[in-house]
Amino acid sequence: MSEPLLTVEGLRTHFFTKAGVVKAVDDVSFTVGRGEVVGLVGESGCGKSMTGYSLMGLIDAPGRIVDGSIVLSGVDLRALSAEEMRNLRGNRIAMIFQDPMMTLNPVLRIDAQMMEAIEAHEKVTRGEARARARAALVRVGIASPDERLEAYPHQFSGGMRQRVAIAIAMLMSPDLIIADEPTTALDVTIQGQILYEMQKLTRDTGTALIWITHDLSVIAGLADRVCVMYAGRIVEQGTAQEVLGEPAHPYTRGLLDSVPSNHEHGYRLRQIPGMTPSLLELPPGCPFRERCAYATAVCDESPAMRPVGGPEQTVRCYHPLVPEHA
Amino acid sequence: MSANPATDAGQPAPVDPPLVELQGVSKRFVKSLDLAARIANNFGAHAREEVVRAVDHVDLTVAAGEVVGLVGESGCGKSTLGRLIVGLLSLSSGQRFWRGIALERLDAGAARRQQLKMQMIFQDPYASLNPRMRVVDIVGEAPVAHRLVRPKAQVEYVGLMLNRVGLDPTLMRRYPHQFSGGQRARIGIARALAVKPEFLVCDESVAALDVSIQAQVLNLFMELKNALNLTYLFISHDLGVVKYLSDRVVVMYLGRVVESAPAAELFAAPNHPYTQALLAEVGRVEPKKRTFVPIKGEIPSPLDPPPGCHFHPRCPFVMPKCRESAPPLVEIAPGRRSACFLNAP
């Protein structure tokens, strides 16, 4: 594989709260190749969104990236100044959030918000900026773009607003887009439309995508590679085929088994017992051991990532469900 | 075939009236003119009342022991319909029946007793529990108020209820914020069960939960159904959940029922173009890249629904007739009904 676009090594983002240290992201490593779609899957509170925010440099106090490196096309993002990071953000790396109502400014027209994003990064005339904003709206499938440019966010439906957010993220043709649950708040038919647009856009422009979601079915149809997160760590990684086809980690298996549509009607769902542990002062060892049917005494020590199953598959487990490499 | 012990084991079903039946039920939300608009109208302005037809002439039957899934996108009126059924909203027109008895004609006392038979479990396990009440009161208030339980027996009774939904009874002195989302969902279920209902309307009751917790709660729903002989109307936008749970599925679009069929048949061969489009989006976890093929457009505003068939602006098979009149919901096969002109040109 050629030089990856993004390399994350040993990322740790901790929150120093009054109650103690919350290790929201704890030793996360992964790579994203050019034009690749990487799915970051996990349940609420597993640190998947915080991983995305860490990459964008959007961690606020009391949180802080305490360790690790984030290298985007040879540039270490953690070494950049705030000013340099601002230039990069929205330009080479962009983010789409879950709730488009929160990301769009309700008192500014769409054209103002889009042109502002262009003018922040490039010296262009207003006419040029407007033309590019219009083209971006057309690209995400918004009808009558001229009228829509002059509208305010509240005049759009949820799906339309998410399209605008995507158009803004795509404005500067970034190398990488981080999408944080962008279709979770949308209806299924609208979700289908957004996924269709994203698939088309990434294919056409070669933009790499990190898709953060709890929805395995979206990931299954969209991602090239999948990282499964649990309690701040990546517990399994590999191609979508490997991870979703033959999961090695008991947690991944449990997640897949919990999806109702994988089941025959009326049969009991195979559930994971218990619930996700609090990240506050998490004891050492495998965080999943309390809920795991395979746990043994050795799980009291933290397992390291190791290769199993398919050629790209790695898992953080002492008792993987697929054979290890020799 | 049917995973439905109540009707399988019971006496021949056709004799019994359905447990719950709606006939031609509509709900209109009217924003009436204020004084200024009325005065302005006297001077020739044309301000008009805004009417949202949230539910438009819906017929629905739920047999005892059945799990009926009600699906549709946001704004299609499925939650309003759920509230109409349990009586949280009054009907604008139409009739409600419980085992063949018209509910709207009951006197106050009978209506009150009747009301206990139908309970609702809400979507948001955060917003639907009073944050200033302890669990023992949240679950125990209604049975005591309705004299199902003597006040002295409340604590014991709540303990039983919590056990039933898989919560530790020693936690009953706690407040809702001390519980996780999944536990709160269980409290909501315990509250509904506390008045010994026969029929539960579950309005997106697992939508706010993580998949692993959702699986636990879905299992609980099915256990309770079998143990207590419950009947469910399960409202959801998640077709995977509906497919897993339901015996029969009713699909709504913009206030109207467009298709109703046994779950297995509906998912195997959807009839209405809208159902077909919805099913194309059912999440399956198959590690295979797929091309997402969207249906065009969005659900129109119920303030100003399109004439004729509400789905025609988005329908790939639209005919001139669809723009003029609404297709009736007609039987296309035994137990299957669909509202589309493609079936009877």
What is the predicted pLDDT for the residue at B294?
A: 66
Question: CB–CB of B292 and A243 under 8 A?
Answer: no
In a mutagenesis test of the B interface, which of A271, A280, A312, A313 is the best target, namely the one with the most B β-carbons within 10 Å? A271
What is the predicted pLDDT for the residue at A142?
A: 83
Residue with tokens 């490196």: A69
Which structural domains are found in chain B, ordered by start? Answer: 5-117+197-255 (3.40.50.300)
List the Cα angle A38/B286/A264 in 5-degree steps.
Answer: 140
User: Among all residues of chain A, which has the CA nearest to that of B297?
Assistant: A190
In chain B, which residues have pLDDT < 70? 1-15, 282-294, 345
User: Among all residues of chain B, which has the CA nearest to that of A143?
Assistant: B297
Taking alpha carbons only, the member of A123, A169, A129 closest to residue A149 is A129
Q: Does A199 touch chain B (CB under 8 A)?
A: yes
Give A212's strand partners.
Answer: A40, A180
- A244 vs B contacts (CB less than 8 Å): 285-287
Nearest-CA distance A159 → chain B (Å) = 8
Number of Cβ pairs closer than 8 Å across A and B?
147
Q: Does B239 touch chain A (CB under 8 A)?
A: yes
Question: CB–CB of B298 and A160 under 8 A?
Answer: yes
What is the predicted pLDDT for the residue at B11?
A: 44
Nearest-CA distance B310 → chain A (Å) = 16
pLDDT digits (tens, 9 = 90+) for B265-286: 999 999 999 999 888 876 666 6
Residues 169 to 198 of A: which have CB under 8 A from any B CB? 187-193, 195-196
Question: CB–CB of A272 and B287 under 8 A?
Answer: no
Question: CB–CB of A217 and B285 under 8 A?
Answer: yes
Q: Which residue in B182, B219, B281 is closest to A191 by CB distance?
A: B281
Question: CB–CB of A255 and B211 under 8 A?
Answer: yes
Question: CB–CB of B280 and A262 under 8 A?
Answer: no
* Amino acid at residue number B241: V
What is the predicted pLDDT for the residue at B194?
A: 93
Q: Where does residue A183 rank: exposed (0-12), middle (13-18), buried (19+ CB within 10 A)? A: buried
A244: three-class secondary structure by DSSP: helix
* Amino acid at residue number B155: V
In chain A, which residues have pLDDT < 70? 1-2, 266, 326
Rg (CA), chain A: 21
Q: Are B38 and B100 in contact (CB under 8 A)?
A: no
What is the predicted pLDDT for the residue at B240?
A: 84
Question: CB–CB of B243 and A260 under 8 A?
Answer: yes
What is the predicted pLDDT for the residue at A250?
A: 94
ipTM value, please give it: 0.76
What is the predicted pLDDT for the residue at A134?
A: 93
